[in-house]
Amino acid sequence: MKIHLTSVFVDDQDKALRFYTDVLGFVKKHDVPLGTARWLTVVSPEDPDGTELLLEPSGHPAVQPYKTALVEDGIPAASFAVDDVRAEFDRLRELGVRFTQEPMEMGTVTTAVLDDTCGNLIQIVHSK
């Protein structure tokens, strides 16, 4: 068994698509109209047939309190692996990305946490 699909709830799918592709570097995999929303997924360009991230509309009434609580408590909605947290932090900050946690080493793991502009905190991580 392996993870095929996971999701983050986003306030605006177009804005999320721009951020996750133009800024973070993912590529669009699926974009299927579903009424007022879309089945919109992105994948890593390094693994185009790998795990998809669904940019899920956050219209359900339970979503906003959930997202707000996570952000207020500093809990990331997702975690993405990178080769070098410091280099990715510098690259993203240069692009205007706001971080809520600068790179932090914790034993064999280095993490940083960013704001995805769509209501979520996202962690980037590297394990030695």
Q: What is the pLDDT of residues 16-44, one digit of tens each?
A: 999 999 999 999 999 999 999 999 999 99
Positions in the chain short of pLDDT 50 = none
What is residue 73's predicted lDDT score, i.e. its pLDDT? 97
What is residue 25's predicted lDDT score, i.e. its pLDDT? 98
CB 89 within 8 A of CB 124: yes
In order, the DSSP letters of the chain are ----EEEEEES-HHHHHHIIIIIT--EEEEEEEETTEEEEEEE-TT-TTS-EEEEEE--STTHHHHHHHHHHTT--SEEEE-S-HHHHHHHHHHTT--EEEEEEEETTEEEEEEE-SSS-EEEEEEE-
d(CA 44, CA 29): 9
What is residue 1's predicted lDDT score, i.e. its pLDDT? 95
What is residue 93's predicted lDDT score, i.e. its pLDDT? 98
What is residue 50's predicted lDDT score, i.e. its pLDDT? 96
109-115 β-sheet, strand order = 78-81, 121-127, 109-115, 99-106
The separation between CA 7 and the C-alpha centre of its own chain, rounded to angstroms, equals 9
Q: Residue written as tokens 């952000």?
A: 71
What is residue 89's predicted lDDT score, i.e. its pLDDT? 98
Model pTM? 0.95
